[in-house]
Amino acid sequence: MSGSIPINLQTSNKPGQEKKASGDSKAVRIVLTAIALLFFTVMLLIPLISVFVKAFEQGAGVYFAAINDPIALAAIKLTLLTIAIVVPVNTVFGLVAAWAVAKFKFKGKNLLVTIIDLPFAISPVVAGLIFVLLFSTSHGILAGLLNELGLKIIFAPPGIILATLFVTLPFVARELIPLMESQGTAEEEAALTLGASGFKTFWLITLPNIKWALLYGVMLTAARAAGEFGAVSVVSGHIRGLTNTVPLHVEILYNEYKFSAAFAVASLLTVIAIINLIIKNISDWKIKQQFK
C-alpha cells in the first residue's frame, strides 16, 4: 500500500548493551558470592575454629583431662545410650510413616503428617514440661501408677530418652517423604505384579532408592539426639554423673567458669556436626546422581 510505513517488530540489543548487561550480571554474582562467603565465615567458620582454639587453650593435657573426667564420661555414656535407643526407634518409625504417606492413600493421612510435624511446632522446653506433667512421681497425671510400679521416669534416664525421642521424631520421615513421593509407585507396583511380597518389594526396590536420604535422616536424628538441650534440661534434674548429657555438662562447666573444659567437651558435639555435614553433602550428591 502506497504511503505505508514499514514497521520492524523485531528488536535487538546493541553489542554494547549486551556487554554491559553481561558485566552487570557478573558483578551481581560476585557481590552475592562475597556476601555469602562473608556470612559463612563470620557465622560458621570462625565460631567453629574458636571452639577448638578455646578447647586447646591450656594445652592438650587439660583437654584430655576434661574429657576423661568421670562426670564427663558419665555424660558421654548417657548421651551415647540415648542415641543408641532413639536412632533405631525413630528410624523404624520414619521408614514406616514415610512409606505410608508417600506410597498409599488412606483416611487419616493428613493427621499422620500433622503428628510427624508436631515436634517442629512445639518448643522443646514445652515438650519437656509435658513429660513432667505426665510422668512426675510427685504431681504427674500418672504419678499413682508409677509409684505403684516403682518406676521413675522424670529426673532419670528414661525421661531423657522419651524427651529425645519426641524432639527427633520427624527427621527421618521428613527426609524420606519428598523423595519417595517424587519416585512414585511404578517400580513397587511392577514388583508386586510379578509376585514379589511386600517385604521383598521394600527390601529390594524401595530401600535401595532411598538409602542416601535415609542415611542423612539417621545422621540428623543422631546429631539432634546428641545436642538436644531444652527438653532434656527440663526432665533431667541436672544430677551430675546420673542425668547430665553432654550439652548439660557443658553448661555446668561454663557456668563454673571452667571455659577450657567446657569447650573441650563441646568439641565432641562439634565433631558430630562436622561429620553430619560431610554425610549431608555426600547424600545430596548421591541423590542427584540418581535423578540424572
CATH of the domain at 176: 1.10.3720.10
**160 belongs to a structural domain:** yes
Cell for 280? 549431608
**28 belongs to a structural domain:** no
Higher pLDDT, 91 or 11: 91
Q: Give the chain as a 3 state SS string.
A: CCCCCCCCCCCCCCHHHHHHHHHHHHHHHHHHHHHHHHHHHHHHHHHHHHHHHHHCCCCHHHHHHHHHCHHHHHHHHHHHHHHHHHHHHHHHHHHHHHHHHHHCCCCCHHHHHHHHHHHHHCCHHHHHHHHHHHHCCCCCCCHHHHHHHCCCCCCCHHHHHHHHHHHHCHHHHHHHHHHHHHHCCHHHHHHHHCCCCHHHHHHHHHHHHHHHHHHHHHHHHHHHHHHCCHHHHHHHCCCCCCCCCHHHHHHHHHHCCCHHHHHHHHHHHHHHHHHHHHHHHHHHHHHHHHCC
Across all residues in the chain, what is the average pLDDT? 86
pLDDT of residue 203: 85
Check whether 164 has a pLDDT greater than 90: yes
Higher pLDDT, 205 or 131: 131
Higher pLDDT, 95 or 10: 95
**248 belongs to a structural domain:** yes
**36 belongs to a structural domain:** no
**38 belongs to a structural domain:** no
Give the model's confidence band at 1: pLDDT under 50 very low, under 70 low, under 90 confident, else very high. very low
**81 belongs to a structural domain:** yes
**218 belongs to a structural domain:** yes
In the chain, how many domains are there?
Answer: 1
pLDDT of residue 225: 94
C-alpha separations of 79 from 88, 90, 98, 128, 246 in Å: 15, 16, 27, 17, 6
pLDDT of residue 109: 87
- Write out the residue range of the structural domain in which residue 166 sits: 57-291
**32 belongs to a structural domain:** no
Mind listing the pLDDT tens digit for each residue in 46-58?
888 889 999 998 8
